[in-house]
Amino acid sequence: MGKTREIKKRIKAVGNIRRITNTMRMIATSKFARAQQKATATKPYTEGVFELVRKIAATGGGQITHPLIAGNPAAKDARELTLIITSDRGLCGPYNGSILRTAMAHLKAEPEAKAGLIELVGRKGAAFLKFNNVAVATLHAIGDKPDFATIERIAQDYMDRFAAGQISKVNVIFMRYISAGRQKPEVMQLLPLKPPAEAEGRKPQSVEYEFSPPAPQLLGVLLPAAVKATLFQAINDAIVSEHIARMVAMKSATDNAGKMGKRLTRQYNRARQAQITTELTEIISGAAALE
């Protein structure tokens, strides 16, 4: 009797877990649809800004410079800054593990990055970095619904410190959203912005163009906009990837709970059948003893 009662309690517990994971899967699916729409909506703007920067830099004969490209050469004690984007909540499968492994590999391969400043988005990466003796300078609280004003302030702070010579480089480690079936952890250099002609392996064109307003003035507007849009796009990609990972993990957990429930039900039926058989045997044996 005790065995069947224990199995019945386990069946009830597994059923409760299955309902919870299925609810979390549906919530993650709903959030994924909204985050995907937001991420895909901002991508054309980001690509458009970079295309304008590419055209201006490529047609300027290589003579156009900007502090966000060249930095502050007079600074001698500037340090690299690495921004790692993780999640605030767990139950998202290998999402955080993939990002943090990529981050540790980058810090191991780049001593200057490891000796520099480490900033973090998401609470889940804090304990891991602390365990690995990586000091976090700043923990940004962004959540899963970031607004552009918050990201703009972070990007503007990076640009101000980069232009002042306090930091020499800014790298962002995040999960890039490629499609619903493919996401990839990536290390992206946010600052300094490489001239597009150089980054794409192209030779700058020698054709002279007359810009109105002048090209430096145009870059003064476009380059900060490109940095802000790129960081915003990276965070949106990370959030979409997190929802996908949680959706897949909760679906897998729901399916496993369903299979375990069926297995426990079979065990319960067998145990109950054995119990009934034992009781019948005892009754028959008792009746036979009375004859």
Per-domain residue ranges of the chain: 22-249
Asked if pLDDT for residue 239 goes beyond 70, the answer is: yes
Confidence of residue 197 (pLDDT cuts 50, 70, 90): very low
List, in sequence order, every beta strand (DSSP E) within the chain. Answer: 79-85, 117-121, 138-140, 167-179, 182-191
In this prediction, residue 209 carries a pLDDT of 56
Contact, 141 vs 86, CB < 8 A?
A: no
Summarize the confidence of residues 6-13 as an average pLDDT.
92
pTM: predicted TM-score of the whole model, two decimal places: 0.83
Summarize the confidence of residues 46-60 as an average pLDDT.
73
Q: Which amino acid is at 136?
A: V
In this prediction, residue 198 carries a pLDDT of 45
Confidence of residue 200 (pLDDT cuts 50, 70, 90): very low
What is the C-alpha separation between 202 and 196, in angstroms, rounded? 8
Angle (CA) 138 39 187, round 5°: 50
Q: Topology of 22-249 in CATH?
A: Pyruvate Kinase; Chain: A, domain 1 (3.40.1380)
79 Ramachandran zone, left/alpha/beta (phi>0; psi -120 to 50)? beta
